[in-house]
Amino acid sequence: MPERKRFCSRADCGAPVGRARGERPGRTEGFCTKCGHPYSFVPKLRAGDIVHGQYEVAGCLAHGGLGWIYLAVDRAVADRWVVLKGLLDTGDQDAMAAAISERRFLAEIEHANIVRIYNFVEHLDQRTGSLDGYIVMEYVGGKSLKEIANARRTPDGRRDPLPVEQACAYGIEALEALGHLHSRNLLYCDFKVDNAIQTEDELKLIDMGAVRRADDDESAIYGTVGYQAPEVAETGPSVASDLYTVGRTLAVLTFDFQGYTNTYADSLPDPDTIEVFRRYESFYRLLVRATDPDPARRFASAQEMAEQLTGVLREVVSLQTGRARPALSTLFGPETRVTDTELFPPLDGDVS
């Protein structure tokens, strides 16, 4: 874990921890000097450890906001691959039981674009004596949007942004997932390029750790600078703040968004300085509305934003190909009986 990514895991703190002083490297374990909360960047589980008598740890995958994320084999269910993710950083058994009970609603979420939650388990760390909680999730193979974006480079090594039509397609899938959560009175809170994976032919949201009920005024709020809506710190998350994160993600994917975590943390650059904005004005207008500082001026729902983003996608493809891509009328078109697997089917003849 690089020192620059080490922060206190306490929700109301977040101070830098484990940093070098002079020539002495930063500690990987210790206590936050600001709030006194313990921290550890040493994996708690090792290959071969058995969690809950069922999940055999294969190794570490990554480090998240609440600790290490592990790949494991479910020995009780056909040796399927699963992911174990830390749920809460606490040694208090009563607090752990309450946290697990509170998060069980996540296991009821089923959607093609959302990672499946299988179980919530407790594990007693034999080395430290701490009781740790883990979310057991579906293992999703593939690359995150961050990895896909970072892999694109120009011949001189600079970042090559994603084609705007590809980013729009990702955004539409993400909005379908968010819309499903919103329909269940849930908020995702932390959509960003790190938290979505392209697997086979679909996008999946993979990190459910920040999901909360829309009427929850007590639990910790998780978000990411540069993606989180500006009002969240004062008024809390909402459907509008979820849609804001999608707009910010689309911006990060489609141009070299320098300063999006500081200078432009709550705004977009001048459209005259961004080529993709000059070329596709409708795309720029969509981002402006999605990231409006006033939540009331943003899209009213994920469905509305997805419909508008689909319209932008059709316009982009039309400009690139020189052929119109009209959508079927939902009021006067023929009755739909078979789902079309192509977003833009080949056109026959001229379009008037």
Domain of 173: which CATH number?
1.10.510.10
DSSP, collapsed to helix, strand or coil, labels residue 101 as helix
Confidence (pLDDT) at 124? 85
Confidence (pLDDT) at 349? 55
pLDDT of residue 11 exceeding 60, the answer is: yes
| Strands 38-40 and 29-31, sheet pairing | antiparallel
The last residue of a domain, from among 138, 164, 193? 138
In a domain, 294, yes or no: yes
Tell me the average pLDDT across 236-246: 97
* Portion of the chain with pLDDT greater than 90, in percent: 59
CA distance linking residue 270 with residue 259, whole number of Å: 13
Catalytic residue among 49, 132, 190, 194: 190
Confidence (pLDDT) at 352? 44
Query: Are 12 and 3 a contacting pair, CB within 8 Å?
Result: no
Tell me the average pLDDT across 243-252: 98
Confidence (pLDDT) at 96? 58
Domain identity same for 199 and 118: no
Domain identity same for 193 and 258: yes
Alpha helices per DSSP H over 35-163: 93-103, 145-151
Burial readout 253-276 (b: 16 or more C-beta within 10 A, e: otherwise):
bbbebeebeeeeebebbeeeebeb
Confidence (pLDDT) at 8? 84
Domain identity same for 132 and 277: no
The last residue of a domain, from among 85, 111, 138? 138
Domain identity same for 152 and 128: no
Domain identity same for 175 and 240: yes
Catalytic: 160? no
Beta strands in 193-347 (DSSP E): 196-199, 202-205, 212-213
Distances (CA, A) of 253 to 37, 240, 249: 35, 20, 6
DSSP-derived secondary structure for 239-262:
HHHHHHHHHHHHHHHHS--TTTTT
In a domain, 249, yes or no: yes
Structure tokens at 84: 């174990």
Domain identity same for 223 and 265: yes
Domain identity same for 160 and 267: yes
Name the amino acid, one letter, at 246: V
In a domain, 29, yes or no: no
Tell me the average pLDDT across 110-120: 92
pLDDT digits (tens, 9 = 90+) for 64-108: 666 789 999 999 999 999 999 876 555 555 555 656 665 778 888
Domain identity same for 151 and 287: yes
List the single range of 42-56, 209-223, 293-307 with lowest mean pLDDT.
209-223
Q: Is the dihedral of CA 279, 281, 287, 292 positive or negative?
A: positive
In a domain, 8, yes or no: no
Domain identity same for 121 and 217: no
Length of the chain, please? Answer: 352
Beta strands in the chain (DSSP E): 29-31, 38-40, 50-51, 55-64, 67-74, 80-88, 117-124, 131-138, 143-144, 186-187, 196-199, 202-205, 212-213
pLDDT digits (tens, 9 = 90+) for 189-238: 999 999 999 998 899 998 887 899 999 988 878 889 999 999 999 999 99
In a domain, 234, yes or no: yes
DSSP, collapsed to helix, strand or coil, labels residue 307 as helix
CA distance linking residue 16 with residue 43, whole number of Å: 19
In a domain, 222, yes or no: yes
In a domain, 5, yes or no: no
Long-range contacts of 26-30 (CB under 8 A, 24+ apart): 28/1
Maximum Cα–Cα distance across the chain: 73
Burial class of 168 by CB neighbour count within 10 A (0 to 12, 13 to 18, 19+)? buried
CATH of the domain at 75: 3.30.200.20
Confidence (pLDDT) at 334? 55
Domain identity same for 128 and 147: no
Containing structural domain, residue 92? 37-138
Structure tokens at 211: 């999901």
Domain identity same for 270 and 163: yes
Q: C-alpha angle with apex 92: 88 to 95, nearest 5 degrees?
A: 65
In a domain, 307, yes or no: yes
| Strands 196-199 and 143-144, sheet pairing | antiparallel
Structure tokens at 47: 């290959």
The last residue of a domain, from among 138, 163, 191? 138
pLDDT digits (tens, 9 = 90+) for 148-202: 999 999 898 888 999 999 999 999 999 999 999 999 999 999 999 999 999 988 9
* Portion of the chain with pLDDT greater than 70, in percent: 86
Q: How many folded domains does the chain comprise?
A: 2
Domain identity same for 133 and 175: no
Confidence (pLDDT) at 158? 87
DSSP, collapsed to helix, strand or coil, labels residue 268 as coil
